[in-house]
Amino acid sequence: MAMMAALDFIACATADVFAMTDSGSQLSSLESGFRTYYGGGHAPNLRPNKKRLATILSENGTIGLNDFEDISKKDLYC
- The tens digit of pLDDT for each residue in 15-24 reads 888 888 776 7
What is the pLDDT, as a whole number, of residue 10? 92
Q: Quote the CA–CA distance of 8 and 28 in Å, as a whole number.
A: 11
Residue 78 reports pLDDT greater than 60: no
Q: Quote the CA–CA distance of 32 and 19 in Å, as a whole number.
A: 9
- pLDDT tens per residue across span 3-15: 888 998 999 888 8
CA 56 to chain centre: 17
- pLDDT tens per residue across span 24-42: 788 888 888 899 888 877 8
Confidence of residue 77 (pLDDT cuts 50, 70, 90): low
Q: Quote the CA–CA distance of 47 and 21 in Å, as a whole number.
A: 7
